[in-house]
Chains A and B, each alone.
Chain A
Amino acid sequence: DTGVSQDPRHKITKRGQNVTFRCDPISEHNRLYWYRQTLGQGPEFLTYFQNEAQLEKSRLLSDRFSAERPKGSFSTLEIQRTEQGDSAMYLCASSLTGDEQYFGPGTRLTVT
């Protein structure tokens, strides 16, 4: 039984570049979530998918951010024209029922 996996685990990029992260949920989990966590804070919700449909987006998800889940399995989160304020841990979670959410190890983004 494998958990949620995320790739890459760490990404360093220069300001203005685009980055893309991938999340593979627990198999058979049809719900997938993206959160962002900065140092000393709890995770903050970004967006939610049920199967391939993106059903909820936070106001934190500016127009530079886009997320997809094309076949209802893995998901990608892209950040265009990165800014230093985007530096954070990006966490993916999945759930079967929508109640208990299981998190991956996260992708740590550093924008220089």
Chain B
Amino acid sequence: QKEVEQDPGPLSVPEGAIVSLNCTYSNSAFQYFMWYRQYSRKGPELLMYTYSSGNKEDGRFTAQVDKSSKYISLFIRDSQPSDSATYLCAMKLTGGGNKLTFGTGTQLKVEL
């Protein structure tokens, strides 16, 4: 079983929809959570970073963390065709761990 599970999709939504992307994890030592966006053949781009349970909002993006359920989500409001990409969740251990552990990524397509 992987430490971080993420549905690979693909997920197809109409323009303007609210998108919900999710990851679950098994290691309760993960304390730092990120979401990256990756366009085809490009490097991952950091979207959101959080370390506490609850919600964090940045423009059209909201990151949600539920440490008790070991579950994180990324919500995208008013989705646009330019949001079409692969979304990767990533996590980092507390206590000085440096590496990020990624999910497999969810491929999102926003259609006109």
A residues lining the B interface (CB < 8 Å): 4, 6, 31, 33, 35, 40-45, 48, 55-56, 58, 91, 98-106, 108
Contacts and interface: CB of A to CB of B under 8 A. Distances in A.
B90 interface: yes
B99 A33 contact: yes
The bracket for how many chain B residues form the interface is: 20 to 34
Contacts of A43: 44, 88, 100, 102
B41 A108 contact: yes
B92 A105 contact: no
A98 B51 CA distance: 13
B100 A41 contact: no
Interface string B26-53: 0000001010100001111110010100
A42 B3 CA distance: 12
Residue in A33, A42, A55, A105 whose Cβ sees the most chain B Cβ within 10 Å: A42
B90 A105 contact: no
A92 to B, nearest CB: 8
A106 B42 contact: yes
